[in-house]
């Protein structure tokens, strides 16, 4: 939001000053990063080490992916995190096509992030009343529909409503899929499973935006958002199928 305000209201070369502001904020992160190693040295781990006579865990990739429901959770996680990156890139393009100002687009991006934060604040309350898998299914389906609806919005209030719904629902996906991986794996394989999940997320963040860039050349911004929304909804079907099998 600060970057959008600077880019919009600085008299000249606003984009340059917005990028300089982003660089200055990043430099501020150096201070806690320097202090982190000293603080980490004081951490005392309390988890019990496995007994020496315990059998070694089976942590191969094939065995991890064979865990019931894990493949579906990885698919949801990588598509959801890639969808957020694609929104960050293509929402400004959609705003330019609709004649929205830089400040308006910044407000949309800020609303998306704020909605995701709010959903994570109340996620425990929602899980206890809806259930983790059902809430994840609703989150991916609702977010996919909201993303696909963005190209149909012709006013800032309509786009704001769609992006808030998408942001709120997308905010549920990452913590819920992480909980799914944690509960479906044993203590010995949980670390490997989390690493596989992280690798899948990074793969999605590379492959899906690249595919979206190729698609934008002939389908346009609206086509990209429709396909992304459809892909997110498709992961909801994977969640439903996996839950029924379980």
Residue-range domain boundaries for the chain:
69-245
Q: 242 falls in which pLDDT band (50, 70, 90)?
A: confident
Query: Using an 8 Å Cβ cutoff, are 185 and 133 in contact?
Result: no
Which 3 state secondary structure label does DSSP give 233?
helix
Which 3 state secondary structure label does DSSP give 231?
helix
pLDDT for residue 69 is more than 80: no
Work out the average pLDDT over 129-139.
88
Which range scores top for mean pLDDT: 17-21, 107-111, 233-237, 238-242? 107-111
HSE (side-chain half, CA atoms, 13 Å) at 111: 18
Cα separation, 170 vs 78, in Å, equals 12
| pLDDT of the residue at 52 | 47
Work out the average pLDDT over 209-215.
83
pLDDT for residue 57 is more than 60: no
| pLDDT of the residue at 245 | 67
CATH topology of domain 69-245: Growth Hormone; Chain: A; (1.20.1250)
């Amino acid at each position: 939001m600060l970057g959008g305000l600077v880019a919009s209201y600085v008299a000249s070369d606003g984009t340059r000053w917005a990028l300089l502001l982003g660089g200055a904020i990043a430099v501020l992160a150096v201070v806690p990063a320097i202090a982190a190693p000293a603080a980490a040295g004081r951490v005392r781990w309390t988890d019990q080490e496995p007994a020496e006579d315990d059998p070694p865990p089976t942590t191969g990739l094939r065995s991890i992916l064979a865990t019931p429901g894990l493949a579906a959770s990885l698919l949801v996680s990588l598509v959801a995190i890639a969808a957020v990156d694609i929104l960050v890139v293509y929402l400004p393009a959609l705003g330019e096509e609709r004649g929205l100002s830089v400040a308006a687009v910044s407000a949309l991006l800020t609303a998306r992030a704020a909605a995701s934060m709010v959903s994570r604040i109340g996620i425990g309350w929602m899980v206890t009343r809806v259930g983790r898998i059902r809430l994840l299914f609703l989150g991916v389906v609702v977010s996919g529909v909201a993303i696909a609806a963005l190209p149909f919005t012709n006013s800032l209030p309509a786009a704001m409503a769609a992006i808030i719904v998408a942001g709120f629902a997308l905010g549920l996906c990452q913590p819920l899929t992480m909980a799914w991986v944690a509960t479906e794996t044993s203590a010995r394989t949980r670390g490997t499973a989390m690493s596989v999940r992280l690798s899948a997320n990074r793969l999605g963040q590379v492959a899906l935006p690249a595919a979206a860039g190729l698609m934008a050349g002939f389908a346009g911004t609206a086509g990209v958002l429709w396909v992304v929304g459809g892909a997110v909804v498709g992961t909801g079907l994977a969640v439903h199928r996996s839950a029924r099998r379980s």
